[in-house]
Structure 1
Amino acid sequence: MARNIGSRYTAHQILGRGSAGTVWLGEGPDGPVAIKLLREDLASDQELVGRFVQERTALLGLDHPHVVAVRDLVVDGNDLALVMELVRGTDLRTRLDRERRLAPEAAVAVVADVADGLAAAHAAGVVHRDVKPENILLDMEGPIGPGGSHPALLTDFGVAKLIDTPRRTKATKIIGTPDYLAPEIVEGLPPRAAVDIYALATVLYELLAGFTPFGGGHPGAVLRRHVTETVVPLPGIPDELWQLLVQCLAKAPASRLRASELAARLREQLPQLAGIPSLEVDEPDSGATEEERSYGDADVPQASAGEQPRRRGAVSLVPGAAPDSNRDTHTSMRVPAPDELAGGARGTARAPRAAGQRRPGSARHKAEAVRKRRITLGVTAVLLVAVLGVGGWLATSSDGAEPDPAGTTRSVSPVP
């Protein structure tokens, strides 16, 4: 059903939903556009509307081939919307869901494009704050690049900052997506450009491995790993690329490369990556301990009995919002206390397993464990019954019978 957005735009068809709003395919004076319509309760927040208007100049000024351009910002009654360039393609998460991982050449080409876009944004003083595969679009109508990759564009600039208002998130809260949050965000420091580099390096790791370096389990446990664990090597990629990843995943923001440096260094490595196949590694065990499950925000929704478990980190961006899409990957969590972050010595993240190696937390492993426990309990029960039977027979023999010289047993009556 079509609806008017302000006086210049018409929204025709829903393209996707998220906790902050809905993306529509729309039409404007210059042709097709994508319209991100924020939720009505957000539009009624006057503080957020004011921040929205303040960000207008910065967002409209972002013009780069690898950034989804914001064409207009609409404030009209209950409508609060970002009108954006329409990219005909898909997002990187959808491709990962289909292929699980990319060949190194294609992965590096995609991330280099995004780094170029971030360099332009950072030069304009804009920090994205929510770099992740969901916010990276692949232009299927663009030219084919190295490794068969399509041009990548970064979208959703400004959304995290708009939502992160004092009324909605106190100083003790974190806005972001757990798997991609830089350690300084977890520790409560203000977001700078380096947080985007850390998140983009996490995306590159995920494109190569098929999983993020610190993800898995309760979101609170994920946050803790960002601060206390170091990333483990991925077998099968050139050492130079690995060292670049490690530098951009450094705990200290100052140790990371700038976006322009990262883009240049990645493109330098493309020739030596040609022909290298996708890595063959499996995700390490991601089961959370009792300590990890108790760490984090009690408001984070958990899967109920009989419900399919949500993809890790899949909790709402806006506190109190019910997730309505598998694209809901933001979270609002409390900032961990220093003693919690220091609860364990710094260590190395769980190592990836060789392809085909059974994971301790896998369904098959759990089924085998249950079967073995049942066999053990069955054998124990049989032995216990046998022992009790022999014990009862001995007790009966000693209390009411004694053997005669012929070897038979005769009853012994008590002497009156």
Structure 2
Amino acid sequence: MQENALGSLVGSLVDNRYQVKSRLARGGMSTVYVATDQRLDRDVALKVLHPHLVNDGSFLDRLAREARAAAKLSHPHVVGVLDQGHDGDTAYLVMEYIKGHTLRDVINSKGALSPRLALALIDPVVEGLGAAHAAGLIHRDVKPENVLIADDGRIKIGDFGLARAVTTTTSTGALIGTVAYLSPELVLGKPADARSDIYSTGIMLFEMLTGRQPFDGDVPIQVAYQHVNSAVGAPSGLVPGLAGEVDELVQWCTASDPEQRPVDGNALLAELRHIRTNLTDTELDLQPPAAIQAAASAGMAPGPGPRGMGAPPAPARMPSRMPQSPHAQGNQGGPGNQANHTELLAPIHGDDVPRGRPTEVISRTSNPTTVFSAPASPPPASSRPADSTPVSSTPVSSTHRPVLPPYGFDNDDDREAAPLPLSKREQRKLDRHEQKERSRAAATPVRTLREGNSRRRGALWIVVLVILALLATGAGWFFGMGPGSPGTVPAVANRTVAEAQQLLRDAGFQSSTKDVFDDDVKAGLVVGSEPDAGTEIRKFQQVSLFVSKGPQLFPLPQLTGKTLDASKEALNGAEMALGKVTEKFDEEVPAGTVLGQAPAPGTAVRHGTPVSLTVSKGPQPIPVPDVRGQDQDAAFRAIESAGLKAVFADETVHDRNVPKGAVVSQEPASGTLTKGQTVTLTISEGPKLVKVPNYIGKQVEDATEALRKRGFQVRVNEVLGGFFGTVRDQDPVDTEVPEGSVVTLTVV
């Protein structure tokens, strides 16, 4: 069923199941229609592929595999893939129909969004991508057009499965999708993974925050070139006042090197929600200036400034909780970044780094979680108090935010010594800390008001020294051999509680137990300890043992009697997986209704357990047997034995070809019915009796014509050659005979 010259299937029936109602959209790979699934009586989105993708049989096989993989993903923020098929020249995908609009419509109508709205809209997209990445699916075409926003507020990402199939079937498959959102590795034809989706998501977030895309050009190849050779600027370059954490989030996602991005959607989701929770209302509700929106709508070219669009950004710090990719270590300054050092280096303005204030830097030789505080520039000697001492590098709490060194320095010494600009939030915390320290110092007396007696002071000093000696001795015993001495927590995993407690007692530790669910460790055995095995702690610190209760089990919901869609929603709500779906005929249960499930409802199983469903196909169709010409009793038995009901018409009919008492017609004569439906049989009265007139003495031609008009067959016997052409004798004559009988004329 090929699309007509106007490119529309509206009004047609695809695969004898999907009635096309209207066209929604048309893209480079497919046309999307709204259709009604006649089997389940519901509206679906029917994506029909363009002919140039249908001619490759291997592509259709890949498409089927990708569609099956995508159909297994059931998530509230991912558009469900319901069916896939091939009807003649039409290859199609059937997806969940989301009535509403797309994120592209929101951006086109509102322009730049507030951080609160942008982060709220991107959150379910990242959550859906995280679920897909965990299931081994990569989208490859993340863009606003593929983010669907339902009228009831639900947000889903669609088109899983199609992009991968196209990518693997074309030599230029890496450029399938919208070039504005392509990751550098896809532009270069390298394999894509979850981090490619993260890059596209970062570009999309940049556009939501600023109202425009980071790269533009007259032709797509110019945009693709910028993805590979330029760094995405900070959104605050277009939206002044934007929180530094939001800048860092965008630039983390859009790093040119995939190793510097979040490893997948779940890693990005954790940091995104952390930022949303910690930003102030003022930062979240920041409204982009009208002038910025006007400049964006006028197509302003990227400026050369340090924060301009398309220009290399100022060195940005990784967000506080952003974990590096496990492959990213050791790449700073390596071959992958060497070519971009000049482009990535940008001037740091005075308003970016507070003068004379401590700036957080991290030592390459220190633990990555240890942050040191050092003065950005020492105060002049003349202004320094006489009793002041140089500020040394002092460890700060590990909860303080670690900061990665910036890009673009000429050598390692510069990279270690150079301070990094603080975010606005960090600067405010630092200001409050300094103010408290100054207040505390001002409230501390520097000189006693009483001089006291010197002899008394000497005795007091002796007492103090004795007490200190006793304390030192007691502390030495306590921390050297007593309960405060250090010890290493032994490995207790997969041991019984008694064995684990004995091991801890032998090592000098006291223990407590806590029951936990665990899918891998047998019930009654120890899962692990807190602190972990191998940790060195003081012996007076208690060690907690986590004892397995076995896997946590949950009862399966009742699915029998529900529709297939309702059953999928119930499984999703119970965090169970959809297993094999089998269809069978049922004479009483409507099509699309669940007949049974395995395991049975109420069975206690783990989360993620696949549940197989048996779904009704409705009553089984029965071919109508053709009994025309059969005796009425034989016809009745044939209809009844087929599972149908035979009834006889009230009136009989004459038929010259069907003997009396036989079936002359039936309704319906063919096709299929369901069990118990009716077939109406009409019985023949045999031929109709007609009187034969007397044509003796008539000319043979006139007699023959008259007899034939009455439905008789005429046979002529000529005597003496029939010279006169007169009928001398006729058989039969002046009697009634069945219609169509033979009348013999003797002619002289």
- TM-score, structure 2 length as denominator? 0.36
**What is the Cα deviation at residue 43 of structure 1?**
2.1
Counterpart of 2:190 in structure 1: which amino acid?
Answer: L
**What is the Cα deviation at residue 267 of structure 1?**
2.2
Q: Which of these residues, 327, 341, 346, is aligned with residue 343 of structure 2?
A: 346
Q: Deviations 1:333-382 (Å, cap 9, x if unpaired)?
A: xxxxxxxxx79963589xxxxxxxxxxxxxxxxxxxxxxxxxxxxxxxxx
Q: Does 1:14 align with 2:23?
A: yes
Contact 1:231 1:348 in 2 (8 A): no
- In structure 2, how many angstroms separate the alpha carbons of the residues matched to 1:188 and 1:42? 20
- In structure 2, how many angstroms separate the alpha carbons of the residues matched to 1:251 and 1:27? 44
| Unaligned ranges ≥5, structure 1 | 143-150, 288-341, 350-416
Larger Rg: 2
Higher fraction of helix? 1
- In structure 1, how many angstroms separate the alpha carbons of the residues matched to 2:50 and 2:228? 33
Other-structure match for 1:169:
171
Counterpart of 1:285 in structure 2: which amino acid?
Answer: M
Q: Which of these residues, 127, 130, 137, is aligned with residue 126 of structure 1?
A: 137
- In structure 1, how many angstroms separate the alpha carbons of the residues matched to 2:280 and 2:340? 40
Q: Deviations 1:49-77 (Å, cap 9, x if unpaired)?
A: 11112223211112111111111112221
Other-structure match for 1:266:
272
**What is the Cα deviation at residue 241 of structure 1?**
1.6
Contact 2:11 2:21 in 1 (8 A): yes
Q: Deviations 1:127-157 (Å, cap 9, x if unpaired)?
A: 1000000111111213xxxxxxxx3211111
- What pairs with 1:301-320 in structure 2 (closer than 5 Å)? none
- In structure 2, how many angstroms separate the alpha carbons of the residues matched to 1:344 and 1:243? 19
Other-structure match for 1:201:
202
Other-structure match for 1:61:
72
Q: Residue 11 of structure 1: SS of its match in structure 2?
A: strand
Counterpart of 1:247 in structure 2: which amino acid?
Answer: W
Counterpart of 2:181 in structure 1: which amino acid?
Answer: Y
**What is the Cα deviation at residue 10 of structure 1?**
1.6
- In structure 1, how many angstroms separate the alpha carbons of the residues matched to 2:340 and 2:130? 36
Q: Does 1:3 align with 2:12?
A: yes
Shift of the 158–198 alpha-carbon distance from structure 1 to 2, 3 Å rule, reads same
Q: Which of these residues, 75, 81, 85, is aligned with residue 92 of structure 2?
A: 81
Counterpart of 1:252 in structure 2: which amino acid?
Answer: D
**What is the Cα deviation at residue 273 of structure 1?**
5.7
Provide the alpha-carbon RMSD of the alignment.
2.4
Q: Does 1:249 align with 2:263?
A: no
Contact 2:30 2:50 in 1 (8 A): yes
Other-structure match for 1:363:
none
Shift of the 129–179 alpha-carbon distance from structure 1 to 2, 3 Å rule, reads same
- In structure 2, how many angstroms separate the alpha carbons of the residues matched to 1:228 and 1:56? 35
- TM-score, structure 1 length as denominator? 0.64
Q: Residue 197 of structure 2: SS of its match in structure 1?
A: helix
- In structure 1, how many angstroms separate the alpha carbons of the residues matched to 2:221 and 2:132? 30
Q: Does 1:240 align with 2:245?
A: yes
Counterpart of 1:220 in structure 2: which amino acid?
Answer: I
- What pairs with 1:63-212 in structure 2 (closer than 5 Å)? 63-142=74-153, 151-166=154-169, 168-170=170-172, 174-212=175-213
- In structure 1, how many angstroms separate the alpha carbons of the residues matched to 2:51 and 2:13? 15
- In structure 2, how many angstroms separate the alpha carbons of the residues matched to 1:3 and 1:243? 51
Shift of the 268–218 alpha-carbon distance from structure 1 to 2, 3 Å rule, reads same
**What is the Cα deviation at residue 249 of structure 1?**
0.9
- In structure 1, how many angstroms separate the alpha carbons of the residues matched to 2:340 and 2:276? 41
Counterpart of 1:346 in structure 2: which amino acid?
Answer: E
Q: Does 1:279 align with 2:288?
A: yes
- In structure 2, how many angstroms separate the alpha carbons of the residues matched to 1:345 and 1:176? 31
Identity score, percent: 35
- In structure 2, how many angstroms separate the alpha carbons of the residues matched to 1:259 and 1:182? 15
Shift of the 216–239 alpha-carbon distance from structure 1 to 2, 3 Å rule, reads same
Further displaced range: 270-279 or 192-201: 270-279
Contact 2:67 2:162 in 1 (8 A): no
Counterpart of 1:117 in structure 2: which amino acid?
Answer: G
Q: Residue 185 of structure 2: SS of its match in structure 1?
A: helix
Counterpart of 2:165 in structure 1: which amino acid?
Answer: L
Shift of the 170–220 alpha-carbon distance from structure 1 to 2, 3 Å rule, reads closer
Further displaced range: 114-123 or 152-161: 152-161
Other-structure match for 2:52:
41
Other-structure match for 2:536:
none
Contact 1:104 1:273 in 2 (8 A): no
- In structure 2, how many angstroms separate the alpha carbons of the residues matched to 1:80 and 1:154? 22
- In structure 2, how many angstroms separate the alpha carbons of the residues matched to 1:262 and 1:89? 27
**What is the Cα deviation at residue 176 of structure 1?**
2.8
